[in-house]
Structure 1
Amino acid sequence: MTTYNTADHSDFVRQLYAFAAHIRDPKKNPCPEALEERRMKIYRELFYNNVESFISSSFPVLRQIMMHERWHGMIRDYFANHLSHTPLFPEIPREFLKYLDHERIAQPDDPPFILELAHYEWVELALSISDEKVEIATINPKGDLLDGIPVISPFAWSLSYRFPVHKISPDFQPRAPEATQTNLIVYRDADFAVHFIEINAVTARLLQLISSNDHKSARTLLQQISVELNHVQADVVVRGGMEILSDLRKRQVILGVRV
């Protein structure tokens, strides 16, 4: 790992880099000579414990299913080697997710769902602290959902996983993906509570079309889905879609229709 601890820096700056390098990875970077080992031990434990505690609370299920030594080995590897690009503490879970996705060397005994589970747990945290804005003036919350253009809440994310991540626990750890994808909506309501709904493939496709749509009515989108399904009765798909949209509006996933 690059420390930029080069000779062109002042003694003070080089001392800071040496201090930080030892804090992050004491096995590879010796304690700076000018500092007492007893004092450095306090700093090492303080920094590591703060980061580990925050990640543990952000990914509680992942923490539960991993053995103590494996968990701390992974967190220490992240702490020592991941170069974070933000100083914001709430962004640590996102940085940890990047580490899992792009940097960590997978271990033979890793759960096959580790990345998907971590992403699912991160989504819950991300939505809980999201500061997205809703343009209320551009939405009619009581508008005609079928013939209007539905608006999805920025606090509602439609997600698809190979594993049923919302069911994983110490007692349920699938070893292989299911035959069909798990489709979920994770959303935050007006009281800042985060919920999830398991949805079928048709609902997932409808939300996908709505999210990329700015001029077609829901009726038109549902008719498109009926064609994709080769359904002989488009009106059945439209009626079913209307029930779905009504339920999603009650849950604050759909905010209304565009004005």
Structure 2
Amino acid sequence: MSKSFQQTQLEFAKWLRSPHAAETGFGDIEPRRLAIYRRLIHANIRQFISSGFPVLQSLLTEQQWQQLLTEFVAQHRSDSPLFSDIGSEFVSFLTSDGVRLEDYPGWLFDLARYERMEVDVQFASLSTDYQPLTLRSETQYLHLNPTAEIGIFDYPVAQINSDFQPQQPLATPYFVLVYQIPAGQVQFIELNSLTALALDLLQQKPRNLVQLSEALAQQLPDFSVQQLREAFTTVATDFAERFVLLDKP
């Protein structure tokens, strides 16, 4: 019985993924053409990943990096068919059972997730409905920059570079905000837990300083509403100047 088209597709995809595919060939198709096609597929995938994770690539050895890419192509089953989602699929792959994380630095997954956040923010759309915020009263609504993403990590990902590669995770969570300013540039701000919580509440829905302080007080009973309002008024002024908080007339 002849194979169905779907069966042939699946077998061909399996052949393309295999690191030994060039040695084995596939069916009756001319090996030279197969090799060209396979190289193009692998090169495109590798290029997308390399461009999306430049810091991660620079900090791993060439052998580690190539091993990750080979395992990703061979093992990962993507949920999205889009090339633009390959970076997200690569981050998902790093959490899979197929990756021997003990062969890599402990910050591997955190750094990859952080770099993907930067890419997502870079290509996010900052709506023209939003305008710079001038804080005038406590009843004025605060809108979190719609491109903003708040990350929680075990390692200080925004500080990792060729001169600083921590060997152990932090004792407390590391919070960082990544967002796009009107000029199109991506910015990041390290946050404390209180500020991260406040921004998370604003990400859920816009609030004024009074509402925000009351919402914070419900989760932080050791602080009064007045204390929280005074503390975040200063933060809000600073964040308005840095385009973290915006106005939406």
Structure 1 length as normaliser, TM-score? Answer: 0.82
Instruction: Find the aligned partners of 1:231 and 1:146 in 2 and give their Cα distance.
Output: 18
Q: Does 1:82 align with 2:76?
A: yes
Instruction: Find the aligned partners of 1:193 and 1:182 in 2 and give their Cα distance.
Output: 23
1:223 to partner: Cα distance? 5.0
Match of 1:23 in 2: 16
Q: Does 1:254 align with 2:237?
A: no
What value does the CA root-mean-square deviation take over the aligned residues?
2.8
Match of 1:217 in 2: 208
1:75 to partner: Cα distance? 0.8
Q: How many residues align?
A: 247
SS in 1 for 2:105: coil
Match of 1:242 in 2: 233
Deviation per CA, 1:108-151: give whole Å up to 9, x if none: 22211211111100011011112474655xx8944646322311
How does 1:74-113 map onto structure 2 within 5 Å? Answer: 74-113=68-107
Compared CA separation, residues 195 and 133, structure 1 to 2 (3 A): same
Instruction: Find the aligned partners of 1:33 and 1:225 in 2 and give their Cα distance.
Output: 64
Compared CA separation, residues 24 and 229, structure 1 to 2 (3 A): same
Pick one of 63, 66, 69 that aligns with 2:60. 66
Pick one of 150, 156, 169 that aligns with 2:148. 156
Instruction: Find the aligned partners of 2:66 and 2:189 in 1 and give their Cα distance.
Output: 32
Pick one of 186, 191, 202 that aligns with 2:183. 191
Instruction: Find the aligned partners of 2:126 and 2:83 in 1 and give their Cα distance.
Output: 19
Unpaired stretches in structure 1, ≥5 consecutive residues: 1-5
Q: Which moved more, 1:163-172 or 1:13-22?
A: 13-22
Instruction: Find the aligned partners of 2:10 and 2:151 in 1 and give their Cα distance.
Output: 41
- Alignment identity in percent? 27
1:242 to partner: Cα distance? 0.9
Compared CA separation, residues 209 and 15, structure 1 to 2 (3 A): closer
Match of 2:4 in 1: 9
Match of 1:3 in 2: none
Contact 2:64 2:104 in 1 (8 A): no
SS in 2 for 1:102: coil
Structure 2 length as normaliser, TM-score? Answer: 0.85
Compared CA separation, residues 7 and 84, structure 1 to 2 (3 A): farther
How does 1:122-201 map onto structure 2 within 5 Å? Answer: 122-131=116-125, 133=127, 135-136=129-130, 141-142=133-134, 144=136, 146-201=138-193
Contact 1:162 1:182 in 2 (8 A): yes
Instruction: Find the aligned partners of 1:122 and 1:132 in 2 and give their Cα distance.
Output: 18
Unpaired stretches in structure 2, ≥5 consecutive residues: none
Instruction: Find the aligned partners of 2:128 and 2:40 in 1 and give their Cα distance.
Output: 40
